[in-house]
Amino acid sequence: MGMSTPKILAFAGSTRTASYNKQLVRFAADAARAAGAEVTLLDLRDFPMPLFDGDLEDQGGLPENAKKLKAIFREHDALLIASPEYNSSITAVLKNSLDWISRGETDDEPALAAFRGKTAALLSASPGALGGLRGLVHLRAILGNIGVIVLPDQVAVSKAHEAFDEKGGIKDERSAKQVTRVAQGLVDFLKKHVG
């Protein structure tokens, strides 16, 4: 039986150009591609949206960028997310994106159509000692509650300001191996369960 190639959507929960988490997700995306997945690298900065507001939604439905993001999410089997930690939680831009994407556009659309049945692998990078771990606890809970299967393996890269080389590689061999293993683990899971 020929397997279809798993499709993974990779992005960071940060908009900053020099974001450590953007570097981290690029590294992980390359590892997922090497493991045989088709990977789309997305930048949330390209999809600016107002803060979620029920009145806005009532007046005009979903913002254009929310519709675009939602369509992209629906085309992929899985999410590979590198999530920075802001005040022990996830970023506003990531939460806002998830909130808008979770909204239905039509009455007959299945609930949480862009999330249900998807698989996610989580990563974080932070200059601190915990590497953004506390934010991942929140992200795991949110995704689990909207129908995403979140794989148990995750990596939090600490001392992120020293973690990457000029080429975007991860200097610490142990961290590099862990990130590669998480990315490959996601691809392996998809090959078993998506076809």
**Each residue's pLDDT tens digit, 26-51:** 999 999 999 999 999 999 999 999 99
How high is the pLDDT of residue 4?
82
Domains and CATH numbers, the chain: 7-193 (3.40.50.360)
Predicted local confidence at residue 195, as pLDDT: 61
User: Residue 30: what pLDDT?
Assistant: 98
**How many other CB atoms are found less than 10 A from the CB of residue 48?**
11
pLDDT at 2: 46
Q: Is 168 left (phi over 0), alpha (psi -120 to 50) or beta?
A: left
Phi, psi torsion values for 4, nearest 5 degrees: -75, 150
Spatial CB neighbours of 26, under 8 Å, sequence gap ≥ 6: 10, 41, 168
Rounded CA gap, 43 and 90, in Å?
16
d(CA 75, CA 173): 33
Q: How many CB atoms lie within 10 A of CB 11?
A: 25
Q: Which residues of the chain have pLDDT under 70?
A: 1-3, 195
* b/e 14-43 (16+ beta carbons within 10 angstroms → b): bbeeebbbbbbbbbbbbbbbebebebebbe
Q: What was the pLDDT predicted at 147?
A: 97
